[in-house]
Amino acid sequence: QSNEQLRELTRRKTPGMLSSYIILIVFSELMRKDGIELMNHVFLSLQDDKLTVTQASPASGNPSFLRFSYQLNERRSAFWDTALSGDSLFLEIPAGPLAEGSKEGLTALLGFAEEKIKVNFVFLWFHKNREDRLSIIKTFHYMGLEMVKPGHPMVPARPDLAFMVYSLDNSSSDEE
């Protein structure tokens, strides 16, 4: 399917869908970026009919790249680009003010990461020189994220970036 057809599929809403229903669409379009071949695998999560997740998995086994799109209203969406590596998802908070409703979208992203991807950690980062830095830290701390101390082995040594982590315990899941 073409990218335009795929975009149209992501815009449609089908009445009566279960909130956790996942439609898996896999297509094999090779993409070249910076001389690297990537195999695109796209899957759509119609969780609450608002969250769309697209995944590009590199053929070489490097981290997978996921784009989360959360529909804020009929005309606006919030986007987060992430990298999935091992048991961790790394998320960049985009520059500029957080869109209204993006916290709800980030909550959906964290739920998807825990339930569907089954990661143990979600790391997010942002530039330390942001004007809204304290507000972001407060907001995400309220959501359960904690500041990562410099020198943590799972994050790069970048003095210009602040990292926060959301820890998930998937080892004791499926209590029956």
pLDDT in tens, 98-116: 777 778 888 888 888 888 8
| pLDDT of residue 76 exceeding 60 | yes
| Report for 48-52, 65-69, 123-127: range of highest mean pLDDT | 123-127
- Has residue 28 got a pLDDT over 50? no
Per-residue pLDDT, 47:
47
Residue 83 belongs to domain spanning: 3-167
Model pTM?
0.68
Stretch 156-172: mean pLDDT, rounded?
84
Number of CB atoms found within 10 A of residue 164's CB: 22
Number of structural domains the chain divides into: 1
Mean pLDDT of 129-148: 92
Q: Residue 176 domain-assigned?
A: no
Query: 59: how many CB neighbours lie within 10 A of its CB?
Result: 10
Q: What is the pLDDT of residue 98?
A: 78
Q: How far apart are CA 77 and CA 70, in angstroms?
A: 5
CATH of residue 96: 3.40.630.60
In a domain, 140, yes or no: yes
